[in-house]
Amino acid sequence: MKRARVAYGGVIHAATEDAGGVRLGSGECIAASEVVWLPPFEPQTVFAVGLNYADHAQELAFKPQQEPLVFLKGPGTLAGHRARTRRPKVAFMHYECELAVVIGRPARHVPRAEAYQYVAGYTVANDYAIRDHLENYYRPNFRAKNWDAATLLGPWLVDTADVPDPMNLKLQTRVNGKITQQGTTSKMIFDVPFLIEYLSGFMTLGPGDVILTGTPEGVVNVQPGDQVLTAVEGLGELLSFIVEDSASAP
């Protein structure tokens, strides 16, 4: 099942997919353009994995990691489908199409063979990077990856049972209708079971925690006015709009 959270009529609703629109819990069916899309679950801790595809590390002139490069994201970074993301006055702002893994129950010291038992479902992420601020492994990603409303999740949370092989899903990004990025989750350096085992080995993961698993090569600089569509096979298409942030400074 594909689930969503939307705001409509001043109220936040749980919703499901229905013929291209959304069906509210009340049974009412609403057009997708008439609701405000929120992240499809209530996110807790957000773990982002950097450079988890060798081809993406190569295009940024980094060596592939021997251990996951993980950083955290604040709640203000998150937004939903059809959100507007402000582009600061920088040289490079890149989209990143990612598979997002949502934890469904407390997980501590989980072996790889049991990892999927702790997953509630999956969604699409677009984790924009303000690449000017990505410096090195000792000062990585925090300023590059924690801008307001620059991490989109959605539109749907797809149940684990409907994603039989999360490690064999196609990813694609289109900017203004043009395909600019293609890849597959099979090319991850650290797969989903490994990441759950790794993180749960030193801390307890809880319901609503989300793991952003990285992006393949093909990132492109985006500009105000661009429409960016990130898609993961079987999970849906996540649309975002880039707008100018006239108040921001380099």
- Span 34-51, pLDDT tens digits: 999 999 999 999 999 988
The Cα–Cα gap between 124 and 154 comes to: 5
The Cα–Cα gap between 53 and 138 comes to: 20
Q: Write out residues in the chain with pLDDT < 50, as ranges.
A: 137-139, 249-250
For 1-38, the fitting CATH number among 3.30.565.10, 2.30.30.370, 3.30.1490.20, 3.40.50.2300 is 2.30.30.370
Stretch(es) of the chain classified as CATH 3.90.850.10: 39-244
User: Do 55 and 183 meet the contact criterion of CB atoms below 8 Å apart?
Assistant: yes
DSSP 186-236: GGBSS-HHHHHHHHHTTS-B-TT-EEE----S---B--TT-EEEEEETTTE
Give the count of beta carbons closer than 10 Å to the beta carbon of residue 137: 12
The Cα–Cα gap between 67 and 51 comes to: 10
- Alpha carbons within 13 A on the beta-carbon side of 181: 31
pLDDT for the residue 249: 47
Stretch(es) of the chain classified as CATH 2.30.30.370: 1-38
pLDDT for the residue 61: 55
Listed residue (224, 233, 212, 78) closest to 166, CA to CA: 233
Q: Which residues pair with 158 in a beta bridge?
A: 2, 122
End-to-end CA distance of the chain: 43
For 39-244, the fitting CATH number among 3.50.50.60, 3.90.850.10, 3.40.50.10490, 3.40.50.300 is 3.90.850.10
Give the CA radius of gyration of the chain. 17
Which residues, 6 or more positions from 213, have their beta carbon under 8 angstroms from its beta carbon?
49, 52, 98, 99, 100, 101, 185, 188, 192, 195
Listed residue (242, 238, 245, 243) closest to 82, CA to CA: 238
Which region holds residue 40: left if phi is over 0, alpha if psi is between -120 and 50, else beta? alpha
pLDDT for the residue 250: 45
pTM above 0.95, yes or no: no
Listed residue (184, 154, 180, 182) closest to 167, CA to CA: 184
In single-letter form, the type of residue at position 232 comes to V
